[in-house]
Structure formats: C-alpha cells, structure tokens
Amino acid sequence: MCGIVGYVGYRQAQPILFNSLFRLEYRGYDSCGIAIADNGITVYKDAGKVGNLEKRVPHLEGTAGIGHTRWATHGEPNQINAHPHCDCSGRFAVVHNGIIGNYRLLKKQLIAEGHRFISETDSEVIPHLIEKYYRGDLEGAVATALKDVEGCYAIIVLAAGESDLVAARKGNPLIIGIGDRENFVASDVPAVLDDTNRVVYLEDGDLGVISTAGIRIMRDGREVAWEEKKILWSVEDAQRAGYEHFMLKEIHEQPRVIRDTLIGWLSSDESSGESLVDLTKMQGDIRPLTLLACGTSYHAALVGRYIIEKVLGIPVRVELASEVNYYDRPPDGAVAIAITQSGETADTLRAMKRAKAAGCLLLAITNVMDSSASRIADEVVYTRAGPEIGVAATKSFAVQLIILYSLAILSYKVDARRLADLVMELRQLPEKLERLLSDKDGIKECAGYLAGYESVFFIGRGINYPIALEGALKLKEISYIHAEGYAAGELKHGSFALLGENTPVVAILARDNTYQAMLSNIKEVKARKAPVIALAEEGDDNVGEFADMVISVPAVDLLFSAVVNVVALQLLAYYTARERGCPIDTPRNLAKSVTVE
Ligand code: F6R
C-alpha cells in the first residue's frame, strides 16, 4: 500500500517531506520520491530506501511539496514508475495511493489526444487528465479529471505557480494535518504526528484544498464544515492506526483490500467482469490443473480446488510445494498455478521451476511485484493486499481467495444469470465482512473460553475443510495452543481417542450439502464430552441446540462461506492469543518469508 504526504507552509518543504516519508516506512515500500514547487516543479525519485534518496537530493528551495512511498502494483519498482508522476508540460505533479481500474482505456484516449506517457503505472493518467482539463483553475481541473477515473484513490496534486495543494479521496484514506501558518496532508496519521496532532479525516468523495492560510473541503461541489480531531496516540500507535497489533489492523483491512482487488476484475456495470486469465481456454484439455503452495497459501489452494471444480468443472490437483518436489513425476497438467504471498518461499519457487520444466504454463498469484515467483512465472496475477506486517497471514489469504473466485467465476461462460449472481455476491462480500468485524463480542467470549485449553480441534467439510485447517494454523501459530484442523468425517477414524472435556472442538457449518453430516459430527463430539463452539450462519436456529457456544457469521452464497468463516476464525485466534498474552505480531520461531527448503 503506497504512502502519500504533502506540505504547504512557511518552512522549507524538503526536510518535512522526508521526515514524513520515514514515518511511513513501517508500511513497507519499494521506491519513493518527492516533488517541490520552486520556480517550476522539481522531482527526485528512485527505487530503494527513503534514506538513500534523501542523501542524493540537493537542497531544493521551496515551501510546498509532495512525497510518496510506493508498493508496486502496476509496473516494476524502478525510477520511472516511482511517484510523483507529472503531465507532459511538467506543470502538475501527483502522488497516488490506490488503483485505477479503467487506466488502460484512459491512457489510450490520452495518447490519441497527444499525451506522452513514460511509466507503466496506472497513476500517470491522473496528471495527464489534470493537464487536459486545466483552464486556470486547479481545483476544478482535479474535480473534472476524477470524474473520468474508476477505481479507488487518495491523491495529492502539486502545481507550479499555484499556492494550494489539492487532495482527494475515494476508497483510500486521507487526512489533513492542521498547523499554524502551515498544513499537511497524508495517507495516514503517523506521517504528520511529529508536526501536529490536529487532524481532519476526509470522507469518501471529498476534495480538499490546502494552503498556508487554511483548508477548504468540498463535497459534491459544495464547501462543507470540517471537524478537527486531536490525536493522542504515539507515532507507534498511529502506525497501527490505533489497533493494538498489526494483525488486528490487517484483519480489519480485509473489506478494503478485497474491494481494491476486485477493481481490476469487475466492470462497473454491476453484473459482469473480465477475467485477466481465462482458465477454460488456458487449460484446453481434461488434464488436471495443478495448484502449488505452502502453509496458509496451500489452504487457499485447497479452497481454490472446490471453487474451480464447482464453477468450471475443470479437475484440480492441489500439491504442497514442499512435498511435490519429492514426487518423481512433476506436475504435468497444462497449467500450474503457484500461490505465494511473499513470492519468495523456497519450496514454492522450486516446485514452480519443476512445473515449468515439465512444460506447464505457469501462473503465479502473489502479493509482491517483482518477487522471484513473478519472475519465474509466465503470467502473474497480483493480489492487492498491500504489505502484510503481522507474521500470521490474514488479509493476504483473503485476497488469494478473491483472486481464485475471480479466476473461476469470470472464466465461466455458461449461464449468464448464475454469473451475474456470483459477481453480485462477490461485490457484496466486503460489506458483509464489515458487518462481521463491527460486532466481535461473541468471538471475544469464545476466545476467552478457548484460552484456558491446551488442545483444540477445528472441523469442517467441503469448502470449509481447508478453513478448518487455516483456523487451526492461525490458533497454533499465535496462541501456542496445540490445534488440529480436520475433515469432520475423519475424526472417527482415529482422533476420537483424544476427545474429551479438555479438547474443545470448533465446528464450521455451512447450509450446503455438508450441513446434516456436520450436525451429526457435532453430536458425536458432544457424546465424547468435548465442548463445541459452532461457527454458523446468522439465522441458523438448529445449531444452538447442540453446541455450547455459537459464533454467527453473515449469510452469503455458499460458495463464499470460506471467506466469512476464515475472518471469524482469524479473530478467534487473535483474541485467544491476546488473552494468553502472546507476542501476536512476532510469534516465536516464525518468519514472514521462508526462504529455505
Ligand atoms: C501462516 C503463514 C505461512 C505462509 C507460508 C507460505 O500464517 O503465513 O504459513 O502462508 O509460509 O508463504 P507464502 O505465501 O509467502 O509462499
């Protein structure tokens, strides 16, 4: 996720902007840059660290400027793709956080009108649009330019010869920091906290005009009153946006990153979308498609099998990348898909190389642009989770699922009505997750209960079997409670021997063809005196009769139950670990990226 900052006031802008960029470093980034308004606009930017850029930039005279830390999404991390981006005349400089869904179309139109582009980014269309509409009124030009843009953004615009910065947001956060004869604007609070703790939060669709003298906020073309908030957090608290841990922050970011991820896939006409990769065409014959991954990404792959087989009818083979390397026969389907958040997991990279050598067309689903996985693969689909700082994967898993849903659903050409229903359901997922995240009392209560035990089973069937595996993995890695994820039907084939009053069982129910069997499994577990926490859809009145505690999740089309259930289980693991006083963001013995086999 990119970070953006802006300053206008009586002091030299350069050191203030660099200090703000240092304060945003915790988010992770691959390149950075600043622009200062002097006589014209001077831009310095490059791949690499803020500290390196700071050392190379000479003193720039100017009291207004903007800055950026980039997490690459369109175009590799290099000097040209780094922000700020300018128009042809070099008069307007823009920093952008977000994704512009229709940038290809806009870029084509602008090129036809004579604009010259130099980067591969989606963001570069914005300064060109401003240049196109500018008639001596910067605020008007930005407002008109943004009408052409589909997607999400937080932007700051700096223009030569103008005393104002113009900033706007839709879908991505933006705040204004209020100073004395100076004002600040940034994507997050830590960027301004060294200079001011007086902050105004812009709302979606707002456009802010920021000058030395003051600020104005425009909504739907009219100036609106704004409310100043005092931030009492330390810089460290602010980096976690006030959440106690990065993991909790990242769990809460899921509705937004899912929306960001969908922007690239779904059209604005509500019921359709375009697959960047047509699985039915790529696969071509009936050999199984192979999914390769480790850990949490492997659980996403297992969910992917259900989705792809159900929607497309293509047979899918799922392999642990850490094991497939010992099979004599490498994956030999037409297509292999590697799923890896970091793009650097050694086992996954090795499996990818073997699949490619065996003649598979290789697709990577990864969160990190220019990672090793993206360089090995023939095709890459990027998840738009932004940097994940908590060691336990949460939001990166959710968007891996969203990519797998999108790949399957948008390759589906058979029944237009079913397609429209599924696309609609995908669009509604973020809102349903917001509802789940806004009421966590039930989950906290169950977590308080689990925290007293040393062994927990998670059971599920069908698409929720991998979610049982993921729920158990989350719990063990951050709370250090022994946990096992099980296919519910397998318990009686051995693990029943362990069940008793000291082994709670978390049972995941969905009202699909697994429902009755799951209810029977719960009864069997109860008969062994094991306490049961059931995860069930809102309005499920049966389950309360059998389970000791029930966590209710919003009802969704059954194909999507994996997403709402996993978010509930992430929260369950989080609050259990918190209750036990564990170091949640940095669990013992674990690393964010596993680069050894
Ligand atoms: C668990 C977790 C790990 C990773 C695994 C693969 O929370 O994060 O299980 O999922 O190490 O990592 P990537 O997806 O980077 O290949």
Measured in whole angstroms, the distance separating CA 487 from the mean position of its chain's CA atoms is: 28
Q: How far is the CA of 392 from the centre of ligand 1 (A)?
A: 8
Half-sphere exposure of 201 (CA within 13 A, CB side): 11
Task: Identify the sign of the CA torsion 236, 239, 241, 245.
Answer: negative
Range list of H helices, 134-270: 138-147, 235-239, 246-252, 254-263
Q: At what angle do helices 441-450 and 561-579 cross, to 10 degrees?
A: 50
Residue nearest to atom 10 of ligand 1 (CA): 296
**Atom of ligand 1 at shortest range from CA of 474:** 7
- In the block, which residue shows the tokens 């990119």? 2
Neighbours of 584 (CB within 10 A): 23
**Atom of ligand 1 at shortest range from CA of 294:** 6
Residues of the chain with CATH 3.60.20.10: 3-237
CA distance 307 to 402: 11
Which of 303, 594, 595 should be mutated for ligand 1, with most atoms under 8 A from CB?
Answer: 594
pLDDT of residue 417: 84
93 neighbors 157 (Cβ within 8 angstroms):
yes
Task: Classify domain 3-237 at the CATH superfamily level.
Answer: Aminohydrolase, N-terminal nucleophile (Ntn) domain (3.60.20.10)
Q: How far is the CA of 402 from the centre of ligand 1 (A)?
A: 17
CATH class for domain 439-597? Answer: alpha beta
86 neighbors 36 (Cβ within 8 angstroms):
no
Strands 215-219 and 482-487: unpaired
CB of 276 sitting under 6 A from ligand 1:
no
Mean pLDDT (10-residue bins), the chain, 597 residues? 92 97 86 94 95 96 96 86 96 94 94 96 97 96 96 94 94 92 93 94 94 95 92 80 93 93 68 59 68 98 96 91 87 88 92 92 88 90 86 96 91 78 91 96 97 97 98 97 96 90 97 94 94 96 92 94 97 98 89 70
CB of 390 sitting under 6 A from ligand 1:
no
378 neighbors 361 (Cβ within 8 angstroms):
yes
Token representation of residue 76: 């590799």
Measured in whole angstroms, the distance separating CA 76 from the mean position of its chain's CA atoms is: 18
Token representation of residue 490: 């397998």
Token representation of residue 573: 């693991």
Q: CA-CA distances (angstroms) from residue 471 to 423, 558, 562, 588, 591?
A: 26, 18, 11, 18, 19
Q: CA-CA distances (angstroms) from residue 194 to 63, 189, 190, 197, 587?
A: 18, 10, 8, 8, 30
pLDDT of residue 345: 92
Contacts of 572 (CB under 8 A, 6+ apart): 443, 446, 447, 450, 471, 474, 475, 506, 551
pLDDT of residue 399: 96
CATH class for domain 246-435? Answer: alpha beta
pLDDT of residue 267: 59
Task: Identify the sign of the CA torsion 317, 323, 325, 326.
Answer: negative
Backbone angles phi, psi at 492, to 5 degrees: -70, -10
DSSP readout, 195-211?
A: T--EEEEPPTT-EEEE-
**Atom of ligand 1 at shortest range from CA of 396:** 14
CA distance 129 to 110: 8
**Atom of ligand 1 at shortest range from CA of 342:** 15
**Three-state secondary-structure class, residue 507:** strand
Contacts of 321 (CB under 8 A, 6+ apart): 292, 293, 294, 298, 338, 345, 347, 348, 350, 351, 352
Which of 250, 251, 297, 394 should be mutated for ligand 1, with most atoms under 8 A from CB?
Answer: 297
pLDDT of residue 414: 67
CA distance 126 to 99: 11
CB of 345 sitting under 6 A from ligand 1:
yes
pLDDT of residue 419: 82
CB of 294 sitting under 6 A from ligand 1:
yes
**Atom of ligand 1 at shortest range from CA of 373:** 16
pLDDT of residue 270: 47
Q: CA-CA distances (angstroms) from residue 242 to 19, 234, 239, 248, 583?
A: 21, 9, 7, 10, 17
Contacts of 114 (CB under 8 A, 6+ apart): none
**Atom of ligand 1 at shortest range from CA of 345:** 16
Token representation of residue 498: 């362990």
Residues of the chain with CATH 3.40.50.10490: 246-435, 439-597
Q: Is the peptide bond before 84 cis (omega within 30 degrees of 0)?
A: yes
Q: How far is the CA of 366 from the centre of ligand 1 (A)?
A: 11
pLDDT in tens, 472-481: 999 999 999 9
585 neighbors 430 (Cβ within 8 angstroms):
no
pLDDT of residue 80: 96
Q: How far is the CA of 570 from the centre of ligand 1 (A)?
A: 15
CB of 342 sitting under 6 A from ligand 1:
yes
**Atom of ligand 1 at shortest range from CA of 366:** 14
The one-character DSSP state at 276 is S
Q: In what order do the strands lie in the sheet with 3-8?
A: 41-47, 31-37, 64-70, 3-8, 183-186, 175-178, 198-201, 229-230
CA distance 549 to 545: 10
Q: What is the largest CA-CA distance in the chain?
A: 80
CB of 392 sitting under 6 A from ligand 1:
yes
Residue nearest to atom 8 of ligand 1 (CA): 393
3-state secondary structure 96-143: EEEEECCHHHHHHHHHHCCCCCCCCCCCCHHHHHHHHHCCCCHHHHHH
pLDDT of residue 329: 79
**Three-state secondary-structure class, residue 315:** coil
Which of 250, 320, 345, 397 should be mutated for ligand 1, with most atoms under 8 A from CB?
Answer: 345
For the annotated catalytic residues, the residue numbers are 2, 592
Strands 151-159 and 92-100: antiparallel
Which of 251, 296, 298, 570 should be mutated for ligand 1, with most atoms under 8 A from CB?
Answer: 296
| Four-point Cα dihedral 23, 25, 31, 36, nearest 10 | 0
CA distance 175 to 228: 10
Token representation of residue 500: 């008793």
CA distance 372 to 414: 36
Q: What is the pTM of this model?
A: 0.83
pLDDT of residue 579: 97
Q: How far is the CA of 322 from the centre of ligand 1 (A)?
A: 12
Q: How far is the CA of 393 from the centre of ligand 1 (A)?
A: 6
CB of 366 sitting under 6 A from ligand 1:
no
CB of 164 sitting under 6 A from ligand 1:
no
173 neighbors 192 (Cβ within 8 angstroms):
no
CB of 587 sitting under 6 A from ligand 1:
no
Backbone angles phi, psi at 377, to 5 degrees: -70, 155
CB of 348 sitting under 6 A from ligand 1:
yes
Residue nearest to atom 5 of ligand 1 (CA): 295
CB of 400 sitting under 6 A from ligand 1:
no
| Four-point Cα dihedral 309, 433, 391, 405, nearest 10 | 20
